Amino acid sequence: MMHRALELALLGPAYGANPQVGAIILDKDLNIIAEGWHKGAGTAHAEVDALSKLPNGVPEGATAVVTLEPCNHTGRTGPCAVALIESGISRVVYASKDPGNESANGSKTLLDAGVEVIQGVLEEEADKQSVVWLTAMKKQRPYITLKWAQTLDGRTAASDKTSKWISGTESREDVHLRRSQLDAILVGTGTVKYDNPDLTARKPDGTRYEHQPLRVVVGNTELAQDLRVFNEDAPTVHLKTHDVKDVLAHLWDRGMRHVLVEGGAQLASEFISLGLFDEILIYQAPLLIGGTNVAVTEIGISTMKDALALEFVEIKKLGPDVFIRAIPKEGS
Ligand SMILES: NC(=O)c1ccc[n+]([C@@H]2O[C@H](COP(=O)([O-])OP(=O)(O)OC[C@H]3O[C@@H](n4cnc5c(N)ncnc54)[C@H](OP(=O)(O)O)[C@@H]3O)[C@@H](O)[C@H]2O)c1
């Protein structure tokens, strides 16, 4: 049943302030009588969505199976723990614990009201599925993905600053899909000046995905407003600062929980030096261009013993390229 609830969770949007959550209501014989999922900030939470599909109420002895601990928080919608208690549910089974400061502790509210609570069912799988939102809530800043395309010799641009195209079609399609599932794309003013990128999320046929992340340009240089990043295809902000913590705080306050830093090297290096990243995605092309435009510049490390240790969690061929996903090594 929890596997089914996890599937339902994925029907909701991956971007935005709220997590993807799925919920199922079972009758006393453990037959599914309602299913629900969260469709994004401002809409019913998964438990309430499932309950709404039972116009005659919850039968006696019913169980709710939810992927995340029911919330205890009154935001734009009421607390789910209370909605479950008022529905007369007998038992609540959930997977991940809610780390949210305001929303946590729903299980205590349920227990205090005499509802049986079983926690931690498929917890590891659920935590993995919601790693972006859970990490953001724990760290109280957006989950940060750094991404770049590099040649086999680790260059991200040729000496004349051109970088189109290092990676192949399959890699670029993968990036566009990822963009459509997160809140903001960050680039430095250098990348906007040299590349004049669109930074929109486009499908392989060239049309735009329904969701477009906010385009965020970081740096003090005044930029011509006819650059593509300022077109009408997606929202854009230009933040005239070098303080990336301020940038993250600004995006957090706007409800953003997952940002993609797309470079260039100066901006990416700043995030790395401050330890502000949760994963690095590299699209490595079988090209050699030499020169000095490396993916990462100065990150404050001068000797091997201080090297930042990461671990590869995914490596696969993407067309002619190799895709690598690495995360900071635990304890480093
Ligand atoms: N292969 C790839 O994946 C990829 C991706 C992106 C870019 N590129 C290539 O990278 C090159 C541009 O890289 P880049 O390193 O020059 O550009 P960048 O990192 O995009 O921009 C550098 C600018 O960012 C601003 N900035 C904002 N916060 C900063 C901070 N904390 N520290 C330092 N600078 C900060 C500064 O601008 P102000 O002076 O305006 O304050 C700085 O000059 C281009 O050739 C582009 O083609 C390649």
The pTM is what?
0.96
> Is the CB–ligand 1 distance for residue 187 below 6 Å?
yes
Percentage of the chain surpassing pLDDT 70? 98
pLDDT at 73: 77
In the numeric block, the tokens 């079972």 are attached to: 26
> Residue 214 C-alpha to ligand 1 middle, in angstroms?
18
The atom number, within ligand 1, closest to the CA of 187 reads 20
pLDDT tens for residues 201-256?
Answer: 999 999 999 999 999 999 999 999 999 999 999 999 999 999 999 999 999 999 99
pLDDT at 308 over 90: yes
The residue ranges of every structural domain in the chain are 2-134, 141-328
pLDDT tens for residues 274-298?
Answer: 999 999 999 999 999 999 999 999 9
Half-sphere exposure of 232 (CA within 13 A, CB side): 0
Angle at 253 between CA 248 and CA 259, to 5 degrees: 40
Residue of 152, 163, 296 to test ligand 1 pocket, by largest number of atoms within 8 Å of CB: 163
pLDDT at 317 over 70: yes
Q: Cα separation of 190 and 86, whole Å? A: 56
Q: Cα separation of 81 and 63, whole Å? A: 13
| Closest protein CA for atom 26 of ligand 1 | 219
pLDDT (average), residues 15-20: 96
Rg (CA), the chain: 22
Confidence of residue 58 (pLDDT cuts 50, 70, 90): very high
The atom number, within ligand 1, closest to the CA of 244 reads 31
Name the token pair of 289. Answer: 């261009």
Is 147:261 a contact under the CB 8 Å cutoff? yes
> Is the CB–ligand 1 distance for residue 263 below 6 Å?
yes
The domain made up of 2-134 is a member of CATH 2.170.150.70: no
> Residue 267 C-alpha to ligand 1 middle, in angstroms?
5
The answer to whether the 2-134 and 141-328 domains have the same CATH topology is: no
Q: Which superfamily does 141-328 belong to?
A: Dihydrofolate Reductase, subunit A (3.40.430.10)
Residue among 47, 69, 270, 279 flagged as catalytic:
47
Does the active-site annotation cover 47?
yes
Indicate the angle between helix axes 244-253 and 265-273, nearest 10 degrees: 90
